[in-house]
Chain A
Amino acid sequence: ETGVTQSPTHLIKTRGQQVTLRCSSQSGHNTVSWYQQALGQGPQFIFQYYREEENGRGNFPPRFSGLQFPNYSSELNVNALELDDSALYLCASSLGRGLSSYEQYFGPGTRLTVT
């Protein structure tokens, strides 16, 4: 069974640029959630995709957008980067149905630095 993978591991961008982060869900999982973790804080929910449809969104501006593909992998896009976007971006996958849908498994994250 393959775990959740994310790419790239680290990324440095300049304020105003755009970035795309990628996530491959755990084998058999059809739901992907994205979280932002600022230094010294707990993860904050950005949005979730279930079977290629957005299934909930946290308190993040529209310049944060996403996609889920037919193989359930996902992308997080951030436009017009701001300094405060510097954080660890985490992807979590889960099953969409049943008791096991509660369990979310996280990838290693992408460390984004905006200068």
Chain B
Amino acid sequence: QQQVKQSPQSLIVQKGGISIINCAYENTAFDYFPWYQQFPGKGPALLIAIRPDVSEKKEGRFTISFNKSAKQFSLHIMDSQPGDSATYFCAASVSGNTPLVFGKGTRLSVIA
């Protein structure tokens, strides 16, 4: 049973455009929702994270939108750049210091 469903599987965006990746979760006990960025041959890097007490969090060009009632959250990358081309994973955990449950990933390609 997949607890975090991520879509789309792959995404192609023009340089300067907005990249949007969506995740849905089932476990209402989840209270921490990070996004990770992974380049080929590297480990996942923590990009941005949100707790359910806020509906949006923005850091630079990256924004998380969170909808608690729909059990969905999404990552928006504004002004997408070729350097943003990577695989993005959403994840969730129940509380601090507990395992992260990951989505299957979205391969983003930003083309000039």
Contacts and interface: CB of A to CB of B under 8 A. Distances in A.
Contacts of A45: 99-101
Contact of A98 (B32, B46, B96): B96
B23 to A, nearest CB: 11
Given A90-B44, A107-B43, 5 more contacts: A40-B104, A42-B89, A55-B97, A99-B96, A101-B97
Contacts of B103: 42
Q: Is chain A's binding surface mostly helix, strand, loop or mixed? A: mixed
Most-contacted residue by chain A among B6, B32, B96 (CB, 10 A): B96
A50 B105 contact: no
B105 A42 contact: yes
Given A31-B97, A56-B99, A96-B97, A43 B49 contact: no
Interface residues of B, number: 25
A105 B99 contact: no
Contact of B96 (A4, A35, A102, A108): A102
B93 A102 contact: yes
Contacts of B97: 31, 48, 50, 55, 94-97, 101-102
A43 B96 contact: no
Contacts of B99: 33, 45, 48, 56, 58
- Between A31, A58, A90, A103, the greatest number of chain B beta carbons within 10 A of the residue's beta carbon is seen for A103
A101 B93 CA distance: 11
A66 interface: no
A58 B93 CA distance: 13
